[in-house]
Structure 1
Amino acid sequence: MSEPGKKPQKIIGRIDKIDLPQLKLYNLDAKIDTGAYGSALHAHHIEVIEQEGVETLRFKVLDPTHPEYEDQFFYFQEFTDKKVKSSFGVTEHRYAIRTSLLLFGKRYQTEFSLTDRKDMRYPLLLGRKFLSRGFLVDVRIINASYELKK
């Protein structure tokens, strides 16, 4: 329920297909996870390099076995270095980027920590920090945003 004067909340399911246009990823399977604080994206070959005198984060997304994989590096000059508690309760050092995400036809800027999720079912995880922007999770639903795109 929404309170008077507040925008109604959008209902999202436990799984959806998300677009990350800056990373050329479309209809990427995402787990909607209220148990996770932050959002995470599967990445590898993650390293900080110097490019034209500027520290730059370089990484690849997805795995060669993923149907959307392209063997391409992405470069971000704006990034952060964070400590994140993993789902196993272990504190990890991760780099994070801000990028745009398309959901329900709307563009959102959000932060993703980059981590190896190759053993996870979903390469993208959306956590509470993003969901608190006005989403309610109904675990009975899947692909609510994706169905609107069709």
Structure 2
Amino acid sequence: MATVGWRELVDLPELGLRGIPAKIDTGARTSSLHGKVLETFERDGQQFVRFAVDFPDQHVQQVCEAVHVDWRGITSSNGETQRRMIIKTPLRIGPLKFRAEISLADRSDMKFPMLIGRSSLRRRFVVDSGHSWLQTRGMDPVEGHKP
């Protein structure tokens, strides 16, 4: 079983998103991505969602499409329950790639645009909360920068 730090850079390859700063959060069940829903539509009998992911530090907005799996009530850290759209897409953490369910949420007031919840971690990773970037090639696990 691989070990992750409390923060990692992750990829969502089918969405064209690479090097997303993500906080590892064993208190959250579902992973979450900062994304603004633009529209829902049907393609080949499947429900899809088109959404925008903002990276304000780089002044970039990426428009993505993914299969819309479900709507769920997600309880946030402040105890408030929100109805969020759930997508399913491959997630890569280090060398491991697997399909993950991810809620789309407004994380603009959060430090990390993505949160990795325990459903994505289960049976794949253990968490070392004293280190960062353990699965992020080229990053110093203690200092958090390239050596």
TM-score normalised by L of structure 1: 0.82
Task: State the alpha-carbon separation in 2 of the partners of residues 107 and 52 from structure 1.
Answer: 26
Gaps of 5+ in 2: 140-145
Task: State the alpha-carbon separation in 2 of the partners of residues 38 and 71 from structure 1.
Answer: 22
Is 1:19 aligned with 2:19? no
Aligned-partner SS, 1:34 = coil
Is 1:105 aligned with 2:95? yes
Gaps of 5+ in 1: 1-8
RMSD of aligned Cα (Å): 2.3
2:40 aligns to what?
Answer: 48
Task: State the alpha-carbon separation in 1 of the partners of residues 89 and 46 from structure 2.
Answer: 19
Question: What is the aligned length?
Answer: 140
Alpha-carbon contact 2:15-2:65 (below 8 Å) kept: no
Alpha-carbon contact 2:86-2:103 (below 8 Å) kept: yes
1:37 aligns to what?
Answer: 29
Identity of aligned residues (%): 34
Alpha-carbon contact 1:57-1:79 (below 8 Å) kept: no
Task: State the alpha-carbon separation in 2 of the partners of residues 18 and 47 from structure 1.
Answer: 25
Inter-CA distance 55–111: structure 2 relative to 1 (3 Å threshold): closer
Inter-CA distance 88–20: structure 2 relative to 1 (3 Å threshold): same
- Which has the larger strand fraction? 2
Task: State the alpha-carbon separation in 2 of the partners of residues 111 and 148 from structure 1.
Answer: 27
Post-superposition offset of 1:50: 5.3
Q: Tell me the alpha carbon deviations over residues 12-56 of structure 1, each in whole angstroms, 9 at most, x when there is no partner.
A: 100000011111111110000011111000001443245688643
Task: State the alpha-carbon separation in 2 of the partners of residues 43 and 59 from structure 1.
Answer: 6
Alpha-carbon contact 2:42-2:48 (below 8 Å) kept: yes
